[in-house]
């Protein structure tokens, strides 16, 4: 038997829990709050198993060297990895403490119940966590074996407790990293090269605002001052004095699919099964090439970090998704043993994947190294937020599928080309920070990888359809030149793959003369996928959906990563001058929901982000630089454009919980594409689905 | 440097503003507020929204001296956990937020809306918030929360 989730790598019970003062339970997870509500969900799990009121649980932000190393808060895995560990550890601590209380009091353990942390025997209290759980008691490793409560006994898990972090955010109290003010803290701003490939020819001398100074290391330029405003003005002056030689290095934005098809790549077979059937020449067949553009994270907040070098040690405050991974790459970049680097997590604005959080932390540290003993706060501009971090990479997805004489999907061939979807720190021998190539000497830029399929894959995520198919082959070609930094964004390859697969499914249904919903339901191999799709269709009134000029309905379904949550979507669109998504119905099966309202919030959020991606978003660049550096140039969905969204969770009490954050993204893009085809009779092969894309396809 | 006096969340304040600095610099710098946030610096996202004499204004582009002698309200001035504004109560009731970075600006604009139009419909709420961006997709909950606050204030 093995330990569940992150306990495997972090078995020490005292690493997860402490009872530091009367009435307080300190929970120390290795996962971080990124706007998804994980702190609340983990506190619920802990409160449930310990039998304490949730209000007693304090969650400690991750600090490297102190918190368990749970690597990266990503992949919709926090409830699975951290939740399972917290549940098991809390249950074991409960059992240990109960037996100590029993021993001390002479009351048999089965006669003791726990009420809000107090152990009650037949004659009254016989102790509490706070009287029993002194440090040495929990300095022991967790042991395998089930002790956690059965689902039927749960009272806190499965209820929609309010988010513990929202009050601070609604009352404007300091909570974000951006709000931290430390004594003597300096402010910094970067001065970036004007093109993706640029050489610093010269930097003219000149005065800076009072108290401001330049930090230069190779082509890495930054301004530092006592105030933010002074740093901004100093950075503007330095930028004007820098002379750069720039070169073309970016692909032709007008023919991304052609670039991806011809660029050097490493091919691997993602899946292959079944014998290629002998189909007649005129077998009903779909062959299409789909093109997904580069997409930006486009958080409303900007990346920010604090850093201080003192006595050969580096301390960083970061909104990174992976504090330990960031520490590893900082140690590499600065030639320090990891133990001399401390990364403290503080919340940033919404994080949807590998954004610039790690980059800005590295940059702050480069600057802080020049001013030992002082805290340096570096904050990005809006333009940097939209151009300096990694992006969701462009994808070319070619699919060929055919039906046999019975209307079964006899053949499926897919070829996926694009950069890898992971450039995260902590996984390579060299630091991966974007600005590391600017230093003197520079670190060579890394090329993004795809995580192994067992870990969900990257470009190949959700590339294998969940439908009954005769012969299937999916090949992934990872492009090995990376002119635009690529990494993970909510859904990774699923954004493009689910869109492409669900479009082809609709086209096959049309060839078979069947309703797209019925066609899917007959061929879905997984009953939980079918149940979710049926539920979403029922919510949308699929059978009696309205027919009107410009109105279209589409459906789609996928199980995220093939191992995560199931989500089905039905979209209603209205095609006028532009396409609008007017309504969405989502049905998700996330196993047991720890906090149903929180899960629905995440599913709806993912869906609305997917509407924005599907209808509006595309990184714009010329051959030298990314041009979409403002909200005007990179528009996202606005209040007036947001669809009504109805979300239902399948009732799966007792089933293992699954993450909800990314499950809706792919199905929503697919459902919108199919709704557009329903309304306009045109199949779109490229995102975003703008008037321009539609006109080009007609 | 110029000393600028104004009313901040109902109390007289005075702070030294650097020449050319914005009201946002002043609020987050010497006045040490956290509610008004930097998002874009170009009036394009609403994260920095404050009320200037009761009207929504982008603190990121407003010169600090424009506040002199006037009344500035930030989310901190709407209410406190002990005495929340009906909007803040409604946002908590609807759990209207995910990362929460955009919320202070949105709350401030919503307060101005309800002051001018106590019974808005959903379309009016969306129109009032059109200049605010939310990336987490909390829009529908936010609209419901504003409508809930309006109903509560009318009751």
Domain of residue A272, CATH code: 3.30.365.10
Distance between A204 CA and the closest CA of chain B, angstroms: 24
- B1 at the A interface (CB within 8 A)? no
Please report the sign of the dihedral spanned by the C-alpha atoms of residue A277, residue A279, residue A285, residue A291.
positive
Residues A67 and A188 in one domain: no
Residues A222 and A108 in one domain: no
Residue A501, classed as helix, strand or coil, is: helix
Distance between B155 CA and the closest CA of chain A, angstroms: 23
Domain closes at, from A371, A387, A403:
A387
Residue A416's pLDDT is what? 98
Residue A86's pLDDT is what? 97
Residue A559 pLDDT class (50, 70, 90 cuts): very high
Give me the percent of chain A exceeding a pLDDT of 70: 100
pLDDT at A1 over 90: no
Residue A317's pLDDT is what? 98
Average pLDDT, chain B: 98
Give the Å distances, CA to CA, from A380 to A236, A304, A372, B148.
13, 6, 22, 36
Residues A267 and A309 in one domain: no
- B49 at the A interface (CB within 8 A)? no
Question: In this structure, is residue A565 part of a structural domain?
Answer: yes
pLDDT at A425 over 90: yes
Q: Is the ipTM of this complex over 0.85?
A: yes
Q: Which helix (H) or strand (E) holds A215?
A: strand A213-217
- In 3D space, the residue among A30, A161, A80, A3 whose CA is nearest the CA of residue A658 turns out to be A80
Separation between Cα atoms, residue A401 and residue A509, nearest integer Å: 12
Query: Under 8 Å CB-to-CB from B66, ≥6 apart: which residues?
Result: B23, B52
pLDDT at A276 over 90: no
Q: Which of residues 590-609 of A touch B (CB under 8 A)?
A: 597-598, 601-602, 604-609
Residues A116 and A234 in one domain: no
Residue A76's pLDDT is what? 85
Residue B125's pLDDT is what? 98
Beta carbons of A181 and B32 less than 8 Å apart: yes
Question: In this structure, is residue A446 part of a structural domain?
Answer: no
Give me the percent of chain A exceeding a pLDDT of 90: 97
A192-230 per-position pLDDT tens digit: 999 999 999 999 999 999 899 999 999 999 999 999 999
Task: Quote the tokens at residue A519.
Answer: 């066609």
Separation between Cα atoms, residue A619 and residue A624, nearest integer Å: 13
For an interface test with A, the pick among B100, B120, B127, B147 (most A C-beta atoms closer than 10 Å) comes out as: B100
Residue A604's pLDDT is what? 98
Higher-confidence position of A585 and B1: A585
Residue A437 φ/ψ, nearest 5 degrees: -80, -10
Beta carbons of B133 and A36 less than 8 Å apart: no
Other CB atoms within 10 A of residue A243 CB? 11
Domain closes at, from A364, A387, A410:
A387
Residue A146's pLDDT is what? 82
> Smallest Cβ distance to B34: which of A160, A172, A631?
A172
Matching CATH number, B2-77, of 3.20.20.70, 3.10.20.30, 3.40.50.720, 2.40.110.10: 3.10.20.30
**Two domains, one topology: B2-77 and B78-154:** no
> Average pLDDT for residues B23-51, to the nearest whole number?
98
Residue B5's pLDDT is what? 98
pLDDT at A322 over 80: yes
Residue A657 pLDDT class (50, 70, 90 cuts): very high
Residues A673 and A546 in one domain: yes
Cα-based angle A564, A569, A572 (whole degrees, multiple of 5): 160
Residue A635 pLDDT class (50, 70, 90 cuts): very high
Residues A95 and A40 in one domain: yes
Distance between A382 CA and the closest CA of chain B, angstroms: 5
B101-150 per-position pLDDT tens digit: 999 999 999 999 999 999 999 999 999 999 999 999 999 999 999 999 99
Question: In this structure, is residue A23 part of a structural domain?
Answer: yes
Beta carbons of B75 and A171 less than 8 Å apart: yes
> Average pLDDT for residues A517-523, to the nearest whole number?
98
Average pLDDT, chain A: 97
Residues A71 and A117 in one domain: yes
Residues A262 and A351 in one domain: no
> Smallest Cβ distance to A636: which of B97, B103, B135?
B135
- Residue ranges per structural domain of chain B: 2-77, 78-154
Question: Which chain A residues have a beta carbon less than 8 Å from that of B75?
Answer: 170-172
Residues A411 and A464 in one domain: yes
> Average pLDDT for residues A54-63, to the nearest whole number?
98
As its CATH architecture, domain B78-154 has: Orthogonal Bundle (1.10)
Residue A62's pLDDT is what? 98
- B138 at the A interface (CB within 8 A)? yes
Beta carbons of A173 and B132 less than 8 Å apart: no
Provide the β-strand partners of residue B72. B8, B52
User: How many pairs of residues across A and B have Cβ atoms under 8 Å apart?
Assistant: 175
Residues A269 and A378 in one domain: no
> Average pLDDT for residues A448-463, to the nearest whole number?
95
Domain count, chain A: 3
> Average pLDDT for residues A647-667, to the nearest whole number?
95
Cα atoms in the 13 Å half-sphere on the side-chain side of A268: 17
- B144 at the A interface (CB within 8 A)? no
- In 3D space, the residue among A37, A12, A42, A10 whose CA is nearest the CA of residue A26 turns out to be A42
Residue A527's pLDDT is what? 98
Question: Whole-model pTM?
Answer: 0.98
Residues A132 and A210 in one domain: no
Domain closes at, from A105, A137, A162:
A162
Please report the sign of the dihedral spanned by the C-alpha atoms of residue A639, residue A643, residue A644, residue A647.
negative
Residues A210 and A356 in one domain: yes
- In 3D space, the residue among A57, A195, A51 whose CA is nearest the CA of residue A115 turns out to be A51
Buried b (16+ CB within 10 A) or exposed e, A570-581: bbbbbbeeebbb
For an interface test with B, the pick among A165, A180, A299, A639 (most B C-beta atoms closer than 10 Å) comes out as: A639
- A491 at the B interface (CB within 8 A)? no
Residue A654 pLDDT class (50, 70, 90 cuts): confident
Question: In this structure, is residue A548 part of a structural domain?
Answer: yes
Beta carbons of B129 and A639 less than 8 Å apart: yes
pLDDT at A94 over 90: yes
Report the residue of chain B nearest A175, measured CA to CA: B34
pLDDT at B76 over 80: yes
pLDDT at B32 over 90: yes
- A181 at the B interface (CB within 8 A)? yes
Give the Å distances, CA to CA, from A373 to A165, A167, A292, A305, A345.
32, 34, 46, 16, 20
Distance between B102 CA and the closest CA of chain A, angstroms: 7
Domain that holds residue A334: 178-247+298-387
């Amino acid at each position: 038997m093995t330990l569940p989730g992150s306990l495997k790598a972090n078995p020490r019970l005292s690493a997860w829990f402490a009872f530091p003062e009367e009435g307080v339970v300190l929970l120390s997870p290795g996962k971080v709050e990124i706007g998804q509500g994980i702190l609340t969900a983990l506190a619920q799990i802990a409160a449930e198993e310990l039998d304490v009121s949730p209000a007693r649980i304090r969650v400690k932000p991750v600090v490297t060297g102190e918190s368990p190393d749970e690597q990266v808060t990503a992949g919709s895995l926090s409830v699975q990895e951290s939740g399972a560990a917290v549940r098991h550890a809390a249950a074991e601590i409960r059992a240990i403490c109960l037996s100590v209380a029993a021993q001390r009091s002479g009351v048999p353990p089965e006669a003791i119940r726990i009420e809000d942390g107090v152990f009650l025997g037949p004659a009254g209290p016989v102790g509490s966590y706070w009287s029993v759980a002194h440090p040495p008691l929990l300095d022991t490793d967790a042991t395998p074996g089930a002790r956690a409560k059965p689902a039927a006994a749960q009272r806190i898990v499965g209820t929609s407790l309010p988010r513990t972090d929202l009050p601070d955010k609604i009352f404007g109290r300091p909570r974000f990293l951006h709000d931290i003010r430390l004594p003597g803290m300096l402010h910094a701003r970067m001065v970036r090269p004007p093109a993706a490939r640029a050489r610093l020819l010269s930097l003219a001398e000149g005065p800076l605002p009072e108290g401001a100074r330049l930090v230069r290391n190779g082509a890495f330029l930054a301004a530092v001052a006592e105030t933010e405003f002074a740093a901004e003005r100093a950075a503007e002056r330095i930028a004007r004095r820098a002379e750069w030689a720039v070169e073309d290095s970016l692909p032709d934005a007008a023919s991304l699919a052609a670039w991806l098809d011809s660029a050097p790549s490493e091919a691997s077979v993602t899946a292959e099964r079944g014998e290629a059937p002998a189909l007649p020449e005129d077998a009903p067949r779909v062959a299409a090439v789909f093109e997904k553009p580069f997409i930006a994270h486009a958080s409303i907040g900007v990346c920010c970090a604090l850093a201080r070098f003192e006595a050969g040690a580096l301390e960083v405050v970061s909104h990174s998704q992976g504090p330990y991974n960031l520490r590893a790459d900082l140690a590499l970049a600065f030639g320090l043993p990891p133990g001399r680097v401390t990364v403290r997590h503080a919340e940033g604005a919404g994080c949807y994947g590998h954004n610039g959080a790690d980059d800005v932390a590295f940059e702050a540290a480069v600057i802080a190294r020049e001013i030992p003993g002082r805290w340096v706060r570096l904050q990005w501009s809006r333009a940097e937020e939209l151009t300096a971090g990694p992006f969701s990479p462009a994808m070319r997805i070619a699919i060929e599928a055919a039906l046999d004489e019975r209307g079964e999907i006899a053949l499926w061939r897919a070829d996926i080309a694009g950069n890898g979807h992971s450039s995260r720190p902590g996984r390579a021998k060299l630091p991966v920070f974007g600005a590391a190539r600017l230093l003197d000497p520079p670190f060579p830029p890394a090329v993004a990888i795809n995580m192994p399929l067992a870990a969900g894959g990257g470009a190949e995520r959700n590339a294998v359809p969940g439908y009954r198919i005769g012969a299937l082959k999916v090949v992934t070609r990872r492009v090995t030149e990376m002119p635009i930094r690529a990494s993970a964004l909510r859904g990774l390859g699923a954004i493009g793959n689910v869109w492409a697969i669900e479009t082809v499914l609709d086209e096959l249904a049309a060839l078979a003369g069947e309703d797209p919903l019925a066609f899917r339901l007959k061929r879905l191999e997984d009953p939980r996928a079918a149940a979710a799709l049926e539920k979403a269709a029922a919510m949308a009134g699929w059978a009696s959906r309205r027919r009107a000029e410009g109105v279209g309905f589409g459906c789609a379904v996928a199980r995220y990563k093939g191992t995560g949550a199931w989500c089905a979507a039905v979209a209603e669109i209205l095609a006028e001058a532009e396409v609008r998504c007017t309504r969405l119905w989502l049905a998700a099966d996330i196993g047991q929901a720890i906090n149903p309202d929180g899960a629905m919030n995440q599913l709806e959020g993912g869906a609305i982000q997917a509407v924005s991606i599907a209808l509006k978003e595309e990184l714009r660049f010329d051959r030298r630089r990314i041009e979409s550096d403002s909200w005007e140039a990179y528009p996202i969905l606005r209040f007036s454009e947001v669809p009504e969204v109805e979300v239902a969770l399948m009732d799966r009490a007792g089933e293992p919980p699954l993450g909800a954050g990314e499950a809706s993204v792919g199905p929503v893009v697919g459902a919108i594409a199919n709704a557009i085809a329903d309304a306009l009779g045109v199949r779109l092969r490229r995102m975003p689905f703008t008037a321009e894309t539609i006109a080009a396809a007609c | 440097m110029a000393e600028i006096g104004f009313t901040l969340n109902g109390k007289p304040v005075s702070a030294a503003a650097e020449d050319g600095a914005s009201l946002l610099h002043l609020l987050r710098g010497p006045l040490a507020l956290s509610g008004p946030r930097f998002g874009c610096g170009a009036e394009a996202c609403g994260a920095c929204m404050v009320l200037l004499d009761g009207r929504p204004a982008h603190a990121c582009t407003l010169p600090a001296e424009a506040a002199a002698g006037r009344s500035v309200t930030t989310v901190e001035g709407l209410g406190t956990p002990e005495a929340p504004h009906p909007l803040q109560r409604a946002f908590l009731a609807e759990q209207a937020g995910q990362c929460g970075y955009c919320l202070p600006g949105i709350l401030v604009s919503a307060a101005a809306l309800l002051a001018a139009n106590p019974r808005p419909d959903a379309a009016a709420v969306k129109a009032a918030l059109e200049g605010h961006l939310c990336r987490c997709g909390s829009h529908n909950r936010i609209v419901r929360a504003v409508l809930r606050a309006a109903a509560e204030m009318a009751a």
